[in-house]
Structure 1
Amino acid sequence: MTDSTRMRALALGAALLAPGLAQAANWLLLQGSEPEQGTRALRPWGFAQLAYQRGEDTPIPVGGWTGQGMAANRLGPDKRAAERWQLHRLRLGVRGRVPGGAPLDYLVAVEAGDNIATRAGDELQLIDASLSYRIDPALRLRLGQFKPPGSEEALRPAPRQPYFAVSTAVDQLLNETFLDHDGSDPLDANAPRGPRSLYHDIGAQLFGVLPGGGPWAHSYALMLGNGNGVARLDNDNHKDLYLYWSSEHVEGGRGAARQGTKLFGWWQQGRRTLDGADPGGHLRTRAGAGVIHQAARWRLSGEYLVGRGMILAGSDGGAVPGSWNNAATRIAGRNLLPEGEAAGWYLEGGWRLAPRTWLDLRYDRYDRGTESAADHRRFTTWTLGLRYRIDRHWQVMANYQWRAAEAPGLDARADANRLLAALDDRLALQLQFVD
């Protein structure tokens, strides 16, 4: 490999992980394949994120768990406190091209830390493990465990997220929690069976960029997956189907630093089974569409999402799951709406104040249980962020979230609205290292 091709490969790898750069990127290609020229057989990579989060820990104001900790005001994954320092993520991986001359690329990564992947912070979780074969630029095949095509926020790598947390709609609709029951048993906490999906699945994907678009780049993806998250075999005979399309007007740059305007849409569908329920399962459908414009000094993006089936519906009384009520007659369990509906959207933008400093602002809204006035809950969040890139390895981030929630179909004095009014704002600070 010549010095020039080696530098080209290193530059593309750095652009994928480096914080603070442009976001109108083709994540399917950047995460699913290596550059056609200058690719090494072995390229180690990784990142670490140290975080501090703080809320007021307002207790439950009403109902059978009055005075206890409110789950939405506590920090995950264990919901024990509302303020903490944590090693949020530590991810190490290798990627490259399999030796031998064939256009066969691989990606492997594991994660440690205190998060929803490792749950208690004492586990090492396999996050990515895939092989990609380039048939031609318009057709590639990827096999293994990886992010399926979907929302822009879900596809974007963690080190390149402009905010500490994704929007509520993306988190609730796409970062799937796998439950065995709907939560109706009063003596069952309905604990998840393993970690959340982390926007990952195991399966096979066809993807590529269509030729002849001129300044437009048209990308597509078609995937068939287990629909069962990370590091877990399929637990039923149902498969998930994923479809994706994007059209981007490229205005400059390349790789993760590409500038332009991207329009995208996606659709996902599969079935989920619950213990003791209909063996045919419940249909789970997710879809969305959005646009992102990235210029040298500013960006603007938005996305609308809808979901039907397997909608998460909080916990009993708003309590931390597994907590007994004050009368010791019921355990707070995680609730699920197997046939429920939900929708959400976000609008966000960023301004480059200085060569290494970004100011970010996002508004997001999520409506769940929209099929019923009794179940309908609305969550709105304003997020203000500031990022400073110290050098190509280090970045600091500060976010403040103004969070609000209501049950719009119920009286303002109803217990549900009194509970939701206790939702706290939240501060998040993060120090990030990438290499």
Structure 2
Amino acid sequence: MKTALKVKLLGLALLASSSQVNAADWLSLQGEQPAVVAPKGVKVPYRSKVPKLWGFIQVNYKQDLGTVSDFNPISNKNDGINRTPFSLLNPDLQSQSGVNLFRARLALRGMADNDNLVNYFFMTEFANNGVNNLAGHGNVATFFSDASITLKHVPYAKVRVGKFKYPGSEEGLQAVFVSPYITFTNMTNQQLLERLVTNVGTVQTGLAAGGAKTDHYTSSEVTQPIGAFRDTGIQIFDTVDIANDWAVSYAYMHGNGTGISNSSSDSQETNYGFLALEQTYGGRGYFTQALKFYLWGQSGKRSLLSNDGTTTTRVDTNRKRYGLGMTYYNYGLRFEAEYMKAEGMIYTGAKDKNPDALQEDWQFQYAVGDENKADGGYVNLQYEIVPKKFEVFGRYDYLNRLTNDEKAERDFTTTTLGCSYRFKGPTRLDFNYLIRDIQAPNNANAQTVVDNIGDRVEVQFTAAF
């Protein structure tokens, strides 16, 4: 009932906004090099094969106002195992406050030929986030998050090969350094931003999983970086003008389903699809004045190796994600709404497996099975009090996780309020205040744990060159 109401509210938001109420064409902006425009939108009078070097850093301070608890509602005692990872800060889940170099990326892009038919894009990551230090397992270092070549020889069918952002949700597809929101929405963070696991322990059901009927597996190691909305594969895409400033964008990608790891296996192959209709009024990049409607979907396999200490068995499951939404930006007003669904392999959070109260060994827990469901979405409103300089904003987002299992269901809601001051282009200072809540509607024991959640204060400085 609650989910249906929220879907209706998002639907009304989409309809209300369709009457001239940004949409940036992220497929083209990230996938190809314009003939006479440099990466940051500066027009040049000629084609140049000189590589364009650019990058950005993001430094933030966060303070979580929740409670860190090691109370176990199953054993009814403090057993030293942390039960509230949602009150600790990513990526290492070690503290509730601190300054962090969140992103530090350096990129190189350009055209390889005089006819601008072959483009390239490379980007690496040096900072402390899920790419280099996922859940405190600092066992990876400085990954190439992007490494791709785009071929533009066939009209209406550009081809991109390599490692890059897959076509999908607007929140994941857009450039991370342009948004004033410091933290992803609940649905995007938990169910789209994939934590890839291979080796897991034995299946947990019943009381071992908080009374849930669903099969849960916990990873036995964290050896891969976060997926970062990327995959390695081949994509066919383009944006085609139709009439009266309207254009259609499409993309199909076949990927390995391995995120930004260096795995070359196709045992987790994933298919991605994207379709958008957009009317452009002017501007460029993040400040493209436009109205866009879009839908997307992805479907893939995931293989887990479960070991009970004596034997190893393979667990194969499906992972499906899809959604639809719209964006609008004009006259300093930005409105966005998106609804998303997840089926199959559902991420249910980080779990501390170290019984020492002073130490943590964070692993990832998944509900595995085609019957598993989750849905979520967000509505975002931003307004520039001073055009492209100072804006205020508010976003409501929600996630209903494991709606198919009443004991395992968790409902997350977050209202984010904030303001942003832009010095020049994407270089800016953002302030976010997050009002957070979790409900376990059919599990009183679990509710005593999730009641430890608190609000969050976040400040971030973004510098780009």
Q: Which residue of 2 aligns with 1:150?
A: 168
Counterpart Cα distance in 2 of 1:227 and 1:287: 15
Give the distance between the partners of 1:257 and 1:56, measured in 2 at CA: 34
CA contact (8 A) 2:53 2:107 kept: yes
The corresponding residue for 1:351 is: 383
> Are 1:188 and 1:331, in contact at CA under 8 Å, matched by a contact in 2?
no
- Between the aligned partners of 1:222 and 1:170, the Cα distance in structure 2 is 21
Task: Give the aligned partner of residue 40 of structure 2.
Answer: none
Q: 1:260 to 1:108 in 2, by over 3 A?
A: same
State which drifts further: 244-253 or 331-340: 331-340
Instruction: Tell me the equivalent position of 1:131.
Output: 149
Correspondence for 2:226 among 191, 196, 204: 196
CA-to-aligned-CA distance 1:90-114 (integer Å, 9 cap, x gap): 1001100013545100000111111
Q: How far off is 1:398 after superposition? A: 0.6
State the alpha-carbon separation in 2 of the partners of residues 122 and 275 from structure 1.
22
User: Distance between the aligned counterparts of 1:366 and 1:183, measured in 2?
Assistant: 27
5 Å matches for 1:6-405? 23-37=22-36, 38-41=46-49, 42-60=51-69, 62-63=71-72, 64-65=77-78, 69=82, 70-119=84-133, 120=138, 123-136=141-154, 138-181=156-199, 184=202, 190-276=220-306, 279=314, 281-316=316-351, 321-324=352-355, 333-339=363-369, 340-355=372-387, 356-392=389-425, 394-405=427-438
More strand by share: 2
Q: Give 1:354 deviation, angstroms.
A: 1.3
CA separation of 1:393 and 1:314: change in aligned 2, threshold 3 A: closer
Where 2:129 maps in the other structure, the secondary structure is coil
Change (3 A) 1:430 1:102: closer
- The Cα of 1:404 is off from its aligned counterpart by 0.3
Give yes or no for contact 1:61–1:419 (8 Å, CA) kept in 2.
Answer: no
* C-alpha distance in structure 2 between counterparts of 1:96 and 1:202, whole Å: 20
My pick for the range that moved more, 96-105 or 259-268, is: 96-105
Q: Which residue of 2 aligns with 1:11?
A: none
Superposed displacement of residue 395, structure 1: 0.6
**Aligned-residue offset at 1:188:** 7.1
Give the deviation of 1:314 after TM superposition: 1.9
Residues 182 and 338, structure 1, Cα contact 8 Å, conserved in 2: no
Residues 98 and 373 from structure 1, CA distance in 2 versus in 1: closer, same or farther, beyond 3 angstroms? same
Amino acid at match of 2:147: A
Alpha-carbon contact 2:197-2:224 (below 8 Å) kept: no
TM-score scaled by length of structure 2:
0.82
Report the 3-state secondary structure (helix = DSSP H, G, I; strand = E; otherwise coil) of the residue aligned with 1:417: helix
Distance change (3 Å), C-alpha of 1:246 and 1:393 = closer
In structure 2, the residue corresponding to 1:389 is in which secondary structure?
strand
Higher mean C-alpha deviation, range 379-388 or range 112-121: 112-121
RMSD: 2.6
Question: Is 1:418 paired with 2:448?
Answer: yes
**8 A contact 1:62–1:415 mirrored in 2:** no
> How far apart, in 2, do the equivalents of 1:347 and 1:406 lie?
20
Percent identity (aligned)? 28
Aligned-partner residue type, residue 77 of structure 1: P
Between 1:251-260 and 1:184-193, the stretch displaced more is: 184-193
CA distance in 1, matches of 2:450, 2:66: 13
Cα offset for 1:215? 2.1
- The answer (yes or no) to whether the contact 1:30–1:256 under 8 Å persists in 2 is no
Question: What is the alpha-carbon distance in structure 2 between the residues aligned to residue 278 and residue 189 of structure 1?
Answer: 14
Which amino acid in 2 is paired with 1:48?
I
356-365 or 91-100, larger mean C-alpha shift: 91-100
Aligned mates of 2:202, 2:440 — CA distance in 1: 20
Output the amino acid matched with 1:87: L
Q: Structure 2 vs 1, CA of residues 66 and 348 (structure 1 numbering), >3 Å: closer, same or farther?
A: farther
| Equivalent-residue separation in structure 1 for 2:140 and 2:265 (angstroms) | 25
State the partner residue of 1:6.
none
Cα distance in 2 for partners of 1:350, 1:367 equals 25
Tell me the SS of whatever aligns to 2:123.
Answer: strand
Cα pair distance change 1:255/1:176, threshold 3 Å: same
Structure 1 stretch displaced more, 234-243 or 179-188: 179-188
Distance 1:34 1:155 in 2: 17
Q: Which residue in the other structure is 1:16 paired with? A: none
Greater shift, 253-262 or 176-185, is seen at 176-185
SS in 1 for 2:342: strand
Q: State how far apart, in whole Å, the 1-side matches of 2:315 and 2:349 are.
A: 25
- Distance in 1 separating the partners of 2:364 and 2:140: 23
Partner SS state of residue 160, structure 1 = coil
| TM-score in terms of structure 1 length | 0.87
Deviations 1:207-256 (Å, cap 9, x if unpaired)? 00124333211000000000001032234534111010000122222344
Moved more, 250-259 or 204-213: 250-259
Quote the offset at 1:191 in angstroms.
Answer: 2.9
**Residues 81, 355 of structure 2: 8 Å contact kept:** no
8 Å CA contact 1:59, 1:67 repeated in 2 = no
CA contact (8 A) 1:183 1:336 kept: no
